[in-house]
A and B are shown apart, each in its own frame.
Chain A
Amino acid sequence: MTDSVIEINSLVKKYGNFTAVDDISLNVKRGEVFAFLGPNGAGKTTTVEILETLKTPTSGSVSVLGYDVRKDEMKIKEKIGVLPQSFNAFEWLTVWENIDRFAQMYRKRVDADHLIDMFDLKDKRNVLFKNLSGGLKQRVGIALSLVNDPEIVFLDEPTTGLDPRARRDVWEAIRELKSHGKTVFLTTHYMDEAYYLADRIDIIHKGKIVAEGLPEDLINRYGGGNTLIIRECDDAALALIMKEMPASRREHNDIIIKLPENDGLTIMTQAVELLNNRHAACKELYVKKSTLEDVFLNLTGEKLAEGVQ
């Protein structure tokens, strides 16, 4: 099952003189969780809304489930589920009523109570949507994106504005989607979200895709390698390590050593031996892995979460 359910070739979307999406191409395979990672304003939502047939491409070809987004709007809409950015349902209807109301809009429907069980919303079944917390609203939103048993689920910034606990709950709900074999197209500006959820990531910046691959591969390739950190050393230890290991850098009482991609172990062994043999005192030693945040920083020179600065 490796057929592509989304195919984008040379997509361009312009608003007047402004190019929101600048010649991007990508494929999403059936059953994978694909993350579109980038800061606000990078062109993520524009791309997703083109896939959802809400916006028309300026040029390029875009197909979803084999249908052309320009021609087969209704066929696509029947077979996809969407959690739009900053989502709300009908506030004066309960969770169950909202699910049922949206389900009635489709030809193919899933039973509302089935979805309520699936997303652990049983005790909120008869609560008005407006009285739910932000995290629960997003979970209901994900449940709503499944009312038509879609083949692809689009989640646009699903955890923006949520507290850490609620984010975790939403992540579990998204993993639930994957376990049910749904293809998930996720857009986010949170690197931890992409890292935790995605099988594959495309990083988009100013309308262009700047990197593509598996999360670990991206980190290895663009993260700038791992860093060895030796904390809270006494003066003897600091002097010794600085002398014996020329690659090290001192920051207060800590030593920081960038590890080369293929030779990290040698340096770590050397550091441990130095500390063991000469009885120099340090509190702890650990390796800090680089993150997608570093990947983005290295690729664009900008920070991810705060957007373009």
Chain B
Amino acid sequence: MVRLLSDIKYSLLAFFRNKGAVFWTFIFPIILFVLLGFLLGGTSGPLTLYYNDSDHSQMSGVFIDAMNSTNAVKMVDGSGMDLAGQLKDAKISCYIDIPAGFENNIMASEMSGGNSSDATVQMYYDKSQTTSLAIVSVVNTVADKINMNISKTKDLVTVLPHDVTTNSVNYLDFLFPGIIGMSVMSIAVNGTVGQSARNRATGVFRKLATTPISRVEWNLGRIITQTITLMLSLAVSIAAAWLIFGISLNINLMMLLMVIAGGLVFSGLGNIIASFVKDEDTATNAASALTFPLMFVSGSFFSVGQMPWFLQDLANVSPLTYLNNGLRAAMITGNGTDVLNNFAIVAVLGVILFVVGVIVLKWKED
């Protein structure tokens, strides 16, 4: 026990002195999250604005044409679609609803010469998606223009905004568990391959083989050390997500267990790679060659459902897919069955790969 603690203490000490390792463990996930968050946070081609026109009148047609003629947005008829649901699932960032009686209300208001109007356009948007703000401003500008054209002075058309951010899963919420899953993979695989390949190349393993410490004990020390760094990395990422994007996440035990099980899977995989590829540089390249594609096909950054079928097949055999799914289930949907199923897959695979890794990565060839 004392020697395990000493081993962990010195592993952590050595880890924190290695600036490269610290960067990849703590800073890289944040950079990736920020970049992807800003780049992909809601943009999906041209700004499309879905509308639901229940009035089917000349006036509502004028309003929609006026929106189209700005060239800033492309109006798409969303009648019959579950626009509220799509907004909630972060598939769209904004939609407008023109209620029945829109034209009549404008006419009535103009006739009466009154100041106010009952003619409203309901606008639903998700503030956390960057494109929604652009659309909101376009809608407001068009409404003002129409008011000017019709009455010169009065606000006949009112835009009623509804921010539904709090209830939705937006891209950032979706992305964050994916970033965690990806970090677990890259930290565990690259960390393990780097360390094991280095220890073999420099002869540290040969020295360890002459001491009474067993490989099981040694690898136990590694997995504990790695779990500690993963947890620290997670804490730093969560703090950064909160500071930069203001998102606070649902942190729970299952999510932590998913991270530990994922660490087991990928450090096992790392040891297996290191056992097959003897040369240090080749081994680290092999690790990148494995993790890089997995990062993209396993639903870390976009949902697996958006990918072509052959990539979806690949996603099905990628352990990272199950880690990501489990993390999302634990952190977003809270669907207990999803969490447990994914956890079971990752944990069982983790134990198998870890044991195989310990067996195949010998300290000394006989």
Contacts and interface: CB of A to CB of B under 8 A. Distances in A.
B366 A105 contact: no
Given A78-B212, A92-B17, A93-B13, A144 B207 contact: yes
Contacts of A101: 6-7, 10
B10 A49 contact: no
Contact of A80 (B2, B15, B210): B210
Interface string B261-289: 00000000000000000000000000000
B212 A92 contact: no
A302 interface: no
Interface string A101-118: 110111100000000000
Nearest to B5: A104
Contacts of B210: 52, 54, 77, 80, 82, 84, 154
A105 B3 contact: yes
A52 B207 CA distance: 11
Contacts of A107: 212
A52 B208 CA distance: 12
A275 interface: no
A8 B28 CA distance: 55
A93 B366 contact: no
Contact of B204 (A54, A90, A97): A90
B202 interface: yes
B148 interface: no
A78 B209 CA distance: 12
Contacts of A56: 366
A120 interface: no
A104 B6 contact: yes
Contacts of B209: 52, 54
A89 interface: yes
Given A92-B17, A93-B10, A97-B13, A87 B207 contact: yes
A128 B207 contact: no
Interface string A173-217: 000000000000000000000000000000000000000000000
Contacts of A82: 207, 210
A92 B3 CA distance: 19
Nearest to B198: A91
A170 B2 CA distance: 33
Nearest to A107: B212
B213 interface: yes
Contacts of A104: 2-3, 6-7
A54 B207 CA distance: 10
Contacts of B366: 54-56
Contacts of B364: 49, 54-55
Interface in B5-21: 6-7, 10, 13-15, 17-18
B137 interface: no
A90 B14 contact: yes
B212 A88 contact: no
A86 interface: yes
A17 B7 CA distance: 41
A202 to B, nearest CB: 22
Contacts of A1: none
Contacts of B202: 88, 91
Nearest to B206: A84
A106 B212 contact: yes
A86 B2 contact: no
Interface string B184-206: 00000000000000000011101
Given A52-B210, A82-B207, A92 B18 contact: yes
Contacts of A91: 14, 202
Given A54-B364, A128-B17, A84 B203 contact: yes
Interface in B193-235: 202-204, 206-207, 209-213
Interface string A69-100: 00000100110101011111111110001001
Given A49-B364, A84-B206, A93 B211 contact: no
Interface of B: 2-3, 6-7, 10, 13-15, 17-18, 202-204, 206-207, 209-213, 364, 366
11 contacts: A55-B364, A74-B212, A77-B210, A77-B212, A91-B14, A92-B18, A93-B14, A100-B6, A102-B211, A104-B2, A105-B211
* Nearest 9 CB-CB pairings of A with B: A92-B14, A88-B202, A82-B210, A104-B6, A84-B206, A105-B211, A77-B212, A92-B17, A101-B10
